[in-house]
Amino acid sequence: MPRIAVVGAAGFGGALCAAIVERHPSLELVAVTARSDAGLRLDQIYPRHRVRLELEPFDADRVADRADAALVAYPHGAAAPVVAQLRERGLKVVDLSADFRLERVRYEATYGPHAAPTLLGASVYGLPEIGYREAIRQAGLVAGPGCYATAALLALWPLRELAADAIVDAKSGVSGAGREATGTTHFVSVAENVNAYKVEGHRHRSELEQELAGAGFPITFTPHLLPIDQGLLASCYVSPVRELSAADVRQLFLDAYAGEPFVELAEAPPGVRDVRETNLCRVHATVEPATGRVLVFAAIDNLWKGAASQAVQDLNLMLGLPEAEGLGAIAASAAAPAPVSAARTEEVPS
């Protein structure tokens, strides 16, 4: 049974990684580390996860002595040196930060100097559904995608050869800002409020541009903060290069995601509650008759498919395990659209 360490387990994403691994039938959670919370048990910080391991200060040799692989959940910049130490000691690593998602020029233009640039060429982007599955299986280092990028890429991928331009209007819960977030993500700021932010350039834009670089169409990307704890909805508006019907678009998505265990095609626009605490991305795609634009709506849980459960999905592939193992009983089938939920068929007064 592969032994797993979670490095940076005191944050939202790291704690969830630890909880998923703890319950995984084919993985053994052997270590959880933290910086400021070392000495506490993880269940003292997150009682609902029920992980009773004590948080330790990070020591690469100590982790390597006990673990075969690691999930690293440090912020960007702090993750790269830790990942480098673990890779030097032979561990397979999934990094949840931005440090290994981008080629060097893009990374340094977005985040600044890279702390371990020699590893960039060896990392694989961790979104299996857009063509990286086999590379992930062979990888020693996988970069977990950003939450916004995950939803937007899954929404746009089937249209990449047919898009003239795209607008991505994305909205996320406040947990995406991390456990230590303050200021504009404080409860008082977000309650009874919705606002756009980083409208002149959010860092996840670099991922969209890199992964869709071959398509060559311009993307407008605007993130918004919602007064909810977790969940993310990407509403995408695509101008096609030729006329498409709703049936054409539906078939494109059926073909793109046939057999994908974690992409669920829906008959109506999804809500974030539909995917809460799952590794699913629920997608609805259609055409607006008045303009001919393709409308795609993709919902994920930003802490799950946008971070921790997707990291375990990648880890399963790296370790030769079934891709969906340990990620819950719910797995989608893209062979046919999922039905509209009963709650959404009720008439809503205007």
β-sheet bridge partners, residue 32 = 6, 55
Distance between CA 280 and CA 306 in Å, rounded? 10
Torsion of CA 157, 158, 161, 165, to 10 degrees: -60
Question: With contact defined as beta carbons under 8 Å apart, do 261 and 328 qualify?
Answer: no
| Side-chain-side CA neighbours of residue 337 (13 Å) | 18
Distance between CA 283 and CA 175 in Å, rounded? 22
Distance between CA 18 and CA 5 in Å, rounded? 8
Distance between CA 8 and CA 46 in Å, rounded? 14
Question: With contact defined as beta carbons under 8 Å apart, do 320 and 303 qualify?
Answer: no
Residue pointed to by tokens 């200021």? 183
Supply 309's token pair.
């459960």
Question: With contact defined as beta carbons under 8 Å apart, do 187 and 239 qualify?
Answer: no
Q: Position 86: which residue type?
A: L
Intra-chain end-to-end CA distance of the chain, in Å: 55
Helix axes 308-318, 12-23, angle to 10 degrees: 50
Distance between CA 155 and CA 168 in Å, rounded? 9
Q: What is the CA radius of gyration of the chain?
A: 20
Pick from 170, 155, 167: nearest CA to 285: 155
* Catalytic status, residue 17: no
The catalytically annotated residue of 17, 147, 236, 281 is: 147
Strand residues in 150-231 grouped as ranges (E): 163-172, 195-196, 219-225
Q: Which helix (H) or strand (E) holds 285?
A: strand 281-287
Catalytic annotation, residues:
147
